Structure formats: structure tokens, C-alpha cells
Chains A and B, each alone.
Chain A
Amino acid sequence: MAVVNNTLSEINDSIIIPAGVPITGLSAISGYTENVSGETATRLFKREFRYSLDGVNWTGYLDLTTPNLTAIPINKKYDFLIEYKYTRIGTETSGLLVFNDVNITGTYEASECGITFNESVFKYFFDCCCNEGTLKWCINVLEKIYKPGIVSLSLTRGENQNANNEDRDYVDFWRSISCYFGLIVNYARQFEKINSNRNLLLMYLKSRGVYVCPDTPVTDLNYIMQKYWDEMRHRGTMMVTKRKGELINGVSKPVDGELLRLLCYNGVCDEFLFEISELNRFGWVVGEWSPLYKGLTDHPQLNKLFEKSQRSVTNLSKYPIINAGNVSIAVDTVPDPRIPDPTGTMLITVPTAGQKAGIGVTTPDFSKSTNIDSSLEYELSFYVKVVSGTPSISVRMYGYGAVEEPLNLRDIKISPLMPVSNDMIVDAQLPTTGDWYRVSCILYSSTHIYAVGDPESITTPSIGVGNNLKTDDLVCKIIPEIVLDNTSGTATGSIALWNIRFAPLKTGYSTGFTNTANFVQTWMKKNTGQYTNSQIETIMRNELLPYKIFLKNNFL
């Protein structure tokens, strides 16, 4: 006799598939399905089953046939148990019979737990109908109570195996008791596994004042539970804003920062920007910042792409490069009043005919893309100068959806249709060599409306040619392209790029505070339904951020 797993190799080998959890809600049985293999005319299974309608008393084995199954007097309120027995029969001794699974088919009506259960503490942990642990414990104890030994036999039962439901009262009475205790036992057992119980973890962390998103992975919840004091220590620091996986001093951050968890931040598409404004970037700093100005030009912390916090180009690996052989880092030593300390610039030389070189997209590298919010306006800006020759510069913007599918942007200059376009500047040349120019292109929000006679300051990049774009509702990622295009084959020379930025264009408010330090402004999308914007702001002020900050939140 050899039954290995679900394989029967010899005649009379049997596999008994025992009953699991009682089935409730089954109102009629119409047949069965099975998945077996290896049967031949001389090597086949003998199929039998037995069942219990009260979870305690079983019938004898019956042939597993549809008539026998349909003949079961099932009731949806019964705790129906069924056990299968597959035995190898036939004459052939060779070969294997493989049993994979068997299922009965029928009509199932989901039972309702009832208001009593639904309003009990148990409901928070498990359902009334299908909880394996509870039902198993319930049936097990009921069987013990039913059988002689625990309850006096003066309470008559089991004489006829409850063949005619004559023990129904006994069974139902003790079943209620044992199942209730089953619920209690099962409830108690929840706390044996708090590490894996999301709800308990969420409640535990919540009770300890830690903010987590209900969707936070259990592993992250466990980490937070274990590193509770670390999490507390992160409050009042930028750590509350760091994403899971972001390198902090070379170490990947294991969980999202608490502010992100509070927002239920979705890193796939959500915009999140957090800036502690530099002192010369708000209020009134003569020559640096104006109280009525709402632009966000040169806010390093808001730069969303590439080398985010610096103007110089120092690491090409952070850029999506096309024709890397034509792109290098050069130190610009020519003083120019237009740009302060251009220590590192990106030198792009004209590629061979028919090609382009620079920052751009051949195959999208989403590690070098950035999330955007379609309700926000963004500015792509960079300084550029012609180093030699007469190169033509093109600037484009490529959009992608939540699953990284390409999505077109729209040209705001041509209307009212605003046709799809990714081109901002195509083959523009600069009039002088050696002079730095600042190119600013705007990506408007999806709600931007074409207006007849929009001035060039709206429609046209800063150098007076090209057109600005608007995004689409579904676009949540972009990758810009700044290239020298030599499709004509006649371009020559090279250009230098410096201070390449992609950041929100402006605020909806001015920042004309006098003598205010630690001005913090955020742009963030709230995915949680647990808190209102106002509550989130209160939590940020009271618990997550230093008291001395001046906070301005922009909920997207």
C-alpha cells in the first residue's frame, strides 16, 4: 500500500478527504465535480462519501453519485459536513491514480450573521459563518458534549444517531453554547497572533498614537510596532516625509514616513511635496523675494527631477540620457552675471545625423520620472548656452498613466481643441554664443482653458518660441526631454545646460510674511478617509511638525 500524497499506487489504496469546516447556507445539492487522473477501465476509483447534518452524527459511506448527493435532506441552517473516500479498485496493479480535488455543487445561500453578532466585538475579527477556527472548535466541543462522558446520559441523545432529528433540541442547545464559546476562544486566539493581525496591529498602533494608513502592509505595521520609539523620534524631523525605500544616509527607509502614512500616500501617482522654505524664498527679501510674488522659481526643495537639491550637474546617472556618448559633465569657468557659480554643466554635443542627444526618452526609465498631479501647474526650466556651432534645441514632455502607459499632453496654443502634443520647443537656436539663456516651459494643469488672445507669457516659453503644454487628468508621471536634434544632419556644435528644474509653477497665495522663520508649505494628496484636511493639518501642527513652523498645506 502506498499512498503518497494524493497518489494511489496499489489496489485498495484509499484516500479519505475529511470534512473541514461545516458548511452552512447550503440549501440544495445538485452533484459534484472532481479532478482525478490516471483512471483506466481497469484502474479506477471507487468513490464514496458520508455526511453529517448536525456536525456530530454521521451517515454510513455511500457511493458518490449524483442521485445519492441530491437525496441528502439538506437545510441551509444545518452544519453540513461531508467526507469523501476514494479507493483504488480494478485489476491493474501498475500505474498511478491521482486524486486532485472533489467538490460538491449545489445551491448556496449565504447566511446572515445577525445584528447581535455584527454588533459584537467578534465581528471586528472574524465572520460568523465561515470562520474556520470558530466552527471547528464549536463542532468539536459539541461532539464531546453529545457523546457520552461529559453530559449525563440522563439527557437522552444519540440513540439513533439523530436519524430523524430527534436530538435536534439537544444539539441546538449545546451547539449554541459551544459555538459561543468557540467565538470566545477564537477571539482569544486572535491575540496570540497580533503580529499578523492587521486590525490588532492598527488598533495597537493607533492606541499608542502612531498614525498609519489602514492599507499599510502588515510587515510595515510590525516594523512600526517594533520601532515605535524610532517612529516617535522621527516626529519633528523630515523623516516623517520620507518615502519607503528612499535612501537616508545610504540606508533604505523601511517604511513610509508618518505624514505619508497619515495621508495614505500612494507613491505610484500621488504628488507629495514638502518644503521648508529658505529664508530668502518667502516674505520680503529685496532682490530675492517679493511679498506679492507667487512663483516658485528656484525653490531647491521643490525640484522634482534629477539632481533635486542642486543647480550644478554632477551625476549623469541621475538623468535619462540619450546618446550618452554625446553627453558629458563640463565645468564652466566663464563668469556670467546671469548665473551664479555654474560649477558643473551638462555638455551636449550634436549627435550624428538623424539622431538626438541629451536628456530624454528612448525607453522610459521610470526611476527617473516624477509624479505629477493633474491639478497642479509645473515649470520645466534650465539655463542653456551655445558653446559652439549652431545647434538646435528641442524641449519635450512625455506623460504616463498610473500603470506607466504613455499618455499625450496637449498644446495650449492651438485651440479650442488643444491637440495632443509633447513638443514645447522644436529646433530653436540661440542668437548668440557664450551667453546664458534661461528657458522656462510651463506644463499647465488639466483644467487649463484656452482663451483667445492669451498672451505669450501664457502660451510661449520664455525665449519667445514654442508652446507650453497642459496635462491630462490621467497623466500622473512625466519625463522631460531636452535634446539637440540633428535629424536634419546639418546641426553642429554643442550646448551647456545648468540648473535643470522641474517644480510646481506657483502657489495660489503669496508668502509675504515679515520676520517669519521656518515657513513650511506642502502639496499633498489625501487618500485616507479617516481624517479631514483640517484634522490632518491639526495633526501635523500638533504632533508631526515642530511647533515653530509656519505651515501652509496645499491639499490636491
Chain B
Amino acid sequence: MNLKMPNNLFLGKEELNHLKDSLGENGYRRAFKQIAKSYGVVRLPSDVSFTSLKVIPGTTNGQLTVKAGTAIDNNVDVIEVLSDQVDILTTAGDNVTRYVVVKYNKSIIPKGTVSISATGEVTGVGTEFKKMVRGLPNFPSLIKFNDSVNTQEYQVASIAGDTSLQLNVASGVLTAETGKTYSVVGTFTPGIAVPTGSKYPLELDGYTLSLEATPTVTEGVEFVLAAVQNNGAVTSITDMRTSHSFEIIGSDDDESMTETSVVIGHDSVRNPHAKSPKDVALLTTTWSFNSTTTNWLHNAATQKLTITAGSGGSLVDVSATSTGDFDGWKVFEKNTGNTVRVIASTRVGANMVLDLEYIESMDLSSEIKIVPDADLIEFTTNLSESFDSLINKRFLFNINDGTANMELVTGKTYRMLWRHIKGTNVTKWNDLNDGAFQPPANHNAVGVYVGGTATAYVAVSGIVIADHAKNHQDDKASRTDPNTFTLSSTNTFDGSVTINKEFILGTYVTGGSLAPITNHNSTVFEGYASTTSNASSGDVTFTGFTGGTNGRYVVFQSSVLSTSNIILTHDDVGSSSGNRMILKNGKSIVLSGGDSITMRYDSIYNRWVEVSSTVKAPWTIYNVPMTLTGSSVINWTHSLDRTRYRWADNNTLMITVYKEFERISGAPTITQAALPLPVNPSSPTSLLQQDVTGRVVASSTGSNTGQTQRPCVVNITAGQIRFTNSFDSAAWTHNSDLVVLSGTFIIAYA
């Protein structure tokens, strides 16, 4: 837009307005609007403490003073408060939150006040008559006094200085007054009835300061400076200027840009798809601190947001945060998309408390993300010295996303960097820790790369990790604390898993002491890899467990606090068939305090199958030699010299007879004898003096093949082990051939 000015051009209102528009509306205003990112309070570099238009307490409670300063609205009109406006506003002591709002308005009242004499002499205080008005002889200005008894428009005769002028009036026209303001009516063609709207051509920058309980702020036009609340004794003031600050696009020294991040870190590196080739790894990186609903609370009156729980990036929970971590960041409300700037962040006990700029309300059902005050975050790997095109990548994400996945070619060495982008401002590139793949010494406590040389690039190579590997501690790239992976569905690691460090199974601890009853179809394995139960009120029996899935391993332990036994019964009909247990030697097992059993569910058996069982106390292997000869093993005894025993077989509770029976002549009739623990141990809980039931498997070549088992009783006492019942029984008649048993029982003792 332009106005050409050739010779003989007529300059009328239209041309001059066009010229004005070309210089103003389509000139500097348009240019200004092009580069202005937001409108509001101007903070000059010299305003280190940011006092521009700051609202501070006035001289008495309830009164408010607005400091001198400047704001610019979206019409590029300048709100300029030249001096501190002391006690300019007063808020009632009713504890109601009100807002100090400033708005530009055009003023026709020049600076200063005037006194008028009856002789037409006008004396000003703080006035600038020489700048504002003109006297005789050339087209003298007309001025008018505001709120004055002198109601005419008066011609200026002469100007003696900025504070003194003489009006062109006859005697008796004026009445003396003081403390008045004046306006410049202008100099118009005489005899013209000038419309009021055309008068006062000298428009000045003015402003309106107001205190509103429910402000309806027009964006870019009105600016909330502060929220104030007076309880009658104290007036609290929440500064809200930074929510309404003037910013220009493209400034290289934007002080509000966040250049570092306490949060940013890699979450995981994994194979993006279980069935896909392993030549691409998916790098998951987080730069926001997140808190879900119920874990945060917003107080609209105080504009404080309290976070009780949350995590993100390198910060595993609130306890990992520190005061000041989120100063100048912004809170992104996921449900509404609203953002609000964080003025200050303070650790208060176990919580992180954020002082927010003004936001009318927040959706408590929303997840929130605390992100740096930027628009975008950019990652790059192409600043490496490598010219490998497979390495050079750039990724750009909305800062409010908080988390993003980036695909990288495996088998390469990367140097990952990031930076913030706000408008056209960008921060410098920062190195980014890759977590598990970078030596910890090269990173600081928050996971930012600090060590090594430029060549100490992150190695992201050879990653073949099943999906469920993200549950694994080592897969947490930048975290130093334990982590919990909560998975909602069945997950499969389709490959070998090597765990180099501690492997801990989650344990369900049943509360208190179990009731001394028999439990059928127990659910203590539901949702847990291991269960620990306390049996101190008497022996507790389990006949079966729910939750069986083929291949599932469970560990069941009697708490070390148990003073009674926990008895697991073999294939007990008390439970449903699919919940029963197949225990070693087909015998029930007694778990005293600290003892445990590991079982694996077998879908073929459709039972829990004992894999192993352990006892709490260390045992000494005690070899018990025995020799049985003759045809009867009844009442075979062997002396013991310990008070507590159990059968030793690789820490199992089964007794193994290596050579239980040996045929010495004739056709063999007995080849094996297994002696499980008693199903229902009687008190006391030790194994002492408890009868156990063994069995004898008949030879298929025996004369009576219909009897394949024979009961026997092994009695273990403090002083002996004895078989208390004969192999012979009512239904069993052993061969006439003499059976000789010989061998060694191995038992352990504590």
C-alpha cells in the first residue's frame, strides 16, 4: 500500500487516510502483527525483575498499585502507564477473587492538569502546551476543559511555555477553576459545524484499569495482570502477566525459551513389531512429566496445581522432582487441549505444587502433561560425523505430545540430539542420553549426556527384544530406580531371554494368619507369580489352586513367620480336577515356616505338578545305611540321632530309595518303594513321629498282577525310621520267593 505523490496531486481526506493507512494500518501495524507472536505486557531487557504493569499491594489492605510499564494489544496500540499508579484500585475484603484487567483506549486528554483564570490565563501542571496546541497568528487551536463550568471551546491566543498559555477570550467569558484537564478540539475551518466525532484529532494513547470478578477478556485486547483476593486482613495477589505477555517471533534471545530439560529421556528401545524383521528399532522417548486424574488437583482461587503422583522421562515419580524443575514450563490439559504457564514449581512434602498463571478452571478428569514452554521438540541424529544416510534422521513432535516413538535402523551408532522450537525461536542442540546403551558415567542424574567425547555416541544396535521386554528393568533406558510394567493382556517373548541381574518374582502375601482349615480351589495364585502365606493359627491345608495355565510356574511359600504347617495334598478330590496338584511321590507335602514349593501347571495332566520343594533351614545330608533281608520289611527300624529330619533328595521332600528292593532269587516282585510325607501330619508340626504311607509297586511278572501297589507305613521318630506296616496286607500275598531289600536312605537333618 502506498500513496504516490506526483506534482499537482490533490491531497484530500481520502489520500491522506490512504497515506495514513499505508504507514499505519498497512505499514508498521501490519509489519508488527507479522512478527508479533502474542500481545500483552512488554518486558524490556532492562526490566530484569519484570515490574512492567505489575500489580502490588497498595498503601493499605485492599488497595492495589499498578507499576509503570507498557503493554501492546493486537491493534498494536500501546498501553503505556508512565508512572506507578498508586492505590489505583481497591478490592473489597470479601474473599472474592477479582482480576486486574488493563485495556487500551484512545484518550483525548493530554498530560497534566490546568488552572484557569478569569482573564484567560491557563496554567498547567505537567502539561506540554508547546507540543499540543498552537496560538496566534497561524490557525490557533481550540481547546476545551473537561468537567468544567467553562463549557465553550476556547481559542488559544499565545503560548508562553509548556505550562502557560493565554486564551483569546473577552472579559467575563471564563470562570476561574483549578485542577482541570483539557482536550484539544483542533483547528477547523471557521464557521463549520464540526461533528463531535471529528473533533479532538490529537488522539493519545490511554488505558483503562479495572477490577473485575468475572472478566470477559477479549484475547489480544484486554490483559489480565493479576488475580487478587482480599480476606479483609490480607490481600493475596497472583501475578498473571506472563499469560498475557508481548512476544515477537524470531527473536534469537527469547529468554522464555527452555533450553534444558529435567525430564527428557529414552523409555525403551524395542522391536516395533513382534513378527517384523529386526533391522529397525523403535526408540520411545518422553519429555513430559505426566499425572493422571486423581493424582493432581487445581485450586482456581489460588491458581495452584498440586501433583501427588506422576512420572515421565527420567523422573520416575514426584519424589524425583525438585523445586524449580518446572518453572516457566506449561501444563497441557489432555482433555481440553488447554495450556497454562507455570510460574513457579515447588516441592512441598511429597507433592509438587505449581503456581499457574490464570486459568479459569481445569478438567479434573483429564491427564495433564507438564512440558517445556515451547511449541515443538525436534530430535536429530544427523549431526554425527557419519555420512551414513541410514543414520541421518530428524523427528519433529508437538511439545504437548510428551512422548514419541522414533524408528532407528539397528546395528548403527547414533548421536541423538534434541532442541526446543517456539515460533521461530530455537534453542541450541542438546545431547540426549540413550539410557541403557550408554555407560552411566556419561550421563548426569537426570539422564542428560554429559560425559565422553563426541565419538562416544549412543549405540543402538542388535536389538532383538520381544514386546514384553519393555517390562524388563534393563529396558528402562534412563531410569535408575525399579520400575513396574503393568500389562493388561497376555504377552509373549518370542525368543530367549537373558537376565543378567536380579530376577524377582512378584509375591502375594496373604494378610494375617490363615485360618486353620482346608482350602479347596484356592485363589491365592490368581494374578501372582508367588504367594506367601502365614500359618500360625494351626495347620492349613490346600487341596488345589485356581489360575492354572499350561506352563505357568508358581511358587508357594509358607511364611517364615508360620508356626504351623501348610499342607498341600496330592490330587485331592476336595478341589476341582483342574485345580489339583500332582505332588512328588504322590504324597502330600508339609511346608513348615519358610518352606516353599514350586509347581508348574501341565495342561496334559491338567494339574499343578510339583517341580521342586524346599525347606527353610539348611539340612545336613545324612546317609542312613540300611539293609533289609528276608521276606518282610515290617518294623524295619533305623536309629536316628537328630531331633528333626526330612528326606533329602535335592532339597525335595521326597524320599528316594535308590535300591529299594533287590531280588535275590526267583522272579522279582518288587522293584521300587516310594515313601511320601504323610497327608495329614499330626501335631507336632515337625516330621517326628509321624506315619507316612509308602507304596510298593508290584512286578508285572508277579503272580498276582492285579495288585500293583501295597501300602506301607514309615514311621519317623526322634530316634528311628521304621516301616510300621507290612507289605503284606489283606489283598496282597507276596510270593514265596524271599525278597531282600538293601540300600541306603539318605535323609537330611537340621
A457 in contact with B120 (CB, 8 Å): no
Q: Note all chain B residues with C-beta closer than 8 A to A287.
A: 138
A326-338 Cβ-contact flags toward B at 8 Å (1 or 0):
0000000000111
Say whether A75 faces chain B, with CB atoms less than 8 Å apart. Answer: no
| Residues of chain B from 154 to 187 with CB closer than 8 A to chain A in the complex | 154-155, 157-158, 166, 168-174, 187
Q: Which of B9-17, B78-86, B290-298, B658-666 contacts A (4 or more CB under 8 A)?
A: B9-17
Q: List 8 A-B contacts (CB under 8 A).
A: A292-B12, A293-B188, A432-B166, A444-B191, A462-B155, A512-B11, A512-B16, A550-B8
Q: Min CB distance, B713 to chain A, in Å?
A: 128
A463 in contact with B173 (CB, 8 Å): yes
| Residues of chain A from 395 to 422 with CB closer than 8 A to chain B in the complex | none
B8 in contact with A454 (CB, 8 Å): no
B136 in contact with A463 (CB, 8 Å): no
Say whether A250 faces chain B, with CB atoms less than 8 Å apart. Answer: no
Report which of A383, A428, A457 forms a contact with B190, defined as CB distance below 8 A: A457
Q: Note all chain B residues with C-beta closer than 8 A to A506.
A: 189-192
Report which of A338, A430, A454, A458 forms a contact with B137, defined as CB distance below 8 A: A338
Q: Min CB distance, A371 to chain B, in Å?
A: 20
Q: Which of A122-130, A236-244, A513-521 contacts B (4 or more CB under 8 A)?
A: A513-521
Report which of A293, A425, A437 forms a contact with B168, defined as CB distance below 8 A: A437
A297 in contact with B173 (CB, 8 Å): no
A297 in contact with B139 (CB, 8 Å): yes
Give Cα A510 to B15, complex, Å.
Answer: 12
Say whether B265 faces chain A, with CB atoms less than 8 Å apart. Answer: no
Report which of B12, B136, B142 forms a contact with A436, defined as CB distance below 8 A: B136
**Chain A binding surface, main DSSP class:** loop
B10 in contact with A429 (CB, 8 Å): no
Interface residues of B (CB under 8 A from A): 5-13, 15-16, 118-120, 135-140, 142, 152-155, 157-158, 166, 168-174, 187-194
Give Cα A465 to B155, complex, Å.
Answer: 12
Give Cα A510 to B192, complex, Å.
Answer: 13
Report which of B16, B154, B157, B191 forms a contact with A442, defined as CB distance below 8 A: B191
Say whether A505 faces chain B, with CB atoms less than 8 Å apart. Answer: yes
Report which of B8, B13, B155, B158 forms a contact with A516, defined as CB distance below 8 A: B8
B157 in contact with A288 (CB, 8 Å): no
Say whether A340 faces chain B, with CB atoms less than 8 Å apart. Answer: yes
A284-298 Cβ-contact flags toward B at 8 Å (1 or 0):
100110111111011
A505 in contact with B152 (CB, 8 Å): no
Closest to B135 in A: A338
Q: Note all chain B residues with C-beta closer than 8 A to A456.
A: 152-153
B190 in contact with A295 (CB, 8 Å): yes
Known: A377-B191, A456-B153, A510-B12. A516 touches B7 (CB 8 A): yes
Report which of A295, A339, A438, A516 forms a contact with B189, defined as CB distance below 8 A: A295
Q: Note all chain A residues with C-beta closer than 8 A to B192.
A: 294, 457-458, 506
Give Cα A428 to B169, complex, Å.
Answer: 10
B191 in contact with A338 (CB, 8 Å): no
Closest to A291 in B: B11
Q: Min CB distance, A299 to chain B, in Å?
A: 13
Closest to A440 in B: B190
Give Cα A337 to B137, complex, Å.
Answer: 8
Say whether A258 faces chain B, with CB atoms less than 8 Å apart. Answer: no
Q: Note all chain B residues with C-beta closer than 8 A to A440.
A: 190
Known: A435-B166, A457-B190, A465-B170. A514 touches B7 (CB 8 A): yes
Report which of A339, A429, A436 forms a contact with B171, defined as CB distance below 8 A: A429
Give Cα A440 to B155, complex, Å.
Answer: 11
Interface residues of A (CB under 8 A from B): 283-284, 287-288, 290-295, 297-298, 336-340, 377, 379, 383, 425, 428-432, 435-438, 440, 442, 444, 451, 454-458, 460, 462-465, 468, 505-506, 510, 512-516, 550
Give Cα A432 to B166, complex, Å.
Answer: 10
Q: Note all chain A residues with C-beta closer than 8 A to B12.
A: 291-292, 510, 512
B153 in contact with A513 (CB, 8 Å): no
Give Cα A284 to B118, complex, Å.
Answer: 37
Q: Note all chain B residues with C-beta closer than 8 A to A337.
A: 135-136, 158
A455 in contact with B153 (CB, 8 Å): yes
Give Cα A266 to B611, complex, Å.
Answer: 138
Report which of A437, A457, A510, A550 forms a contact with B194, defined as CB distance below 8 A: A457
Q: Min CB distance, A284 to chain B, in Å?
A: 6
Give Cα A468 to B190, complex, Å.
Answer: 12
Give Cα A405 to B378, complex, Å.
Answer: 96
Q: Note all chain B residues with C-beta closer than 8 A to A444.
A: 191
Give Cα A292 to B136, complex, Å.
Answer: 19
Known: A293-B187, A457-B192; 13 extra A-B contacts, CB below 8 A, are A290-B139, A297-B190, A336-B158, A379-B190, A431-B118, A432-B119, A432-B166, A457-B142, A457-B193, A458-B192, A458-B193, A464-B152, A512-B15
Q: Min CB distance, B168 to chain A, in Å?
A: 5
Closest to A516 in B: B8
Closest to B134 in A: A287
A431 in contact with B120 (CB, 8 Å): yes
B168 in contact with A462 (CB, 8 Å): yes
Q: Note all chain A residues with C-beta closer than 8 A to B137.
A: 298, 338-340, 438
B136 in contact with A428 (CB, 8 Å): no
Q: Note all chain B residues with C-beta closer than 8 A to A435.
A: 157-158, 166
Q: Note all chain A residues with C-beta closer than 8 A to B136.
A: 337-339, 383, 436, 438
A464 in contact with B138 (CB, 8 Å): no
Give Cα A437 to B170, complex, Å.
Answer: 9
Closest to B201 in A: A292
Q: Note all chain A residues with C-beta closer than 8 A to B135.
A: 337-338
Known: A294-B189, A455-B153, A464-B152. A284 touches B170 (CB 8 A): no
B168 in contact with A513 (CB, 8 Å): no
- Among A425, A436, A460, max chain B CB count under 10 A is at A436
Q: Note all chain A residues with C-beta closer than 8 A to B153.
A: 455-457
Q: Min CB distance, A484 to chain B, in Å?
A: 14
B119 in contact with A514 (CB, 8 Å): no
- Among B153, B155, B157, max chain A CB count under 10 A is at B157
Q: Min CB distance, B335 to chain A, in Å?
A: 57
Q: Note all chain B residues with C-beta closer than 8 A to A379.
A: 190-191
Q: Min CB distance, B216 to chain A, in Å?
A: 36
Give Cα A432 to B118, complex, Å.
Answer: 10
- Among A283, A294, A464, max chain B CB count under 10 A is at A464
Q: Min CB distance, B210 to chain A, in Å?
A: 33
Q: Note all chain B residues with C-beta closer than 8 A to A295.
A: 139, 189-190
Closest to B167 in A: A464
Closest to B15 in A: A512
Known: A505-B190, A505-B191, A513-B8. A431 touches B139 (CB 8 A): no
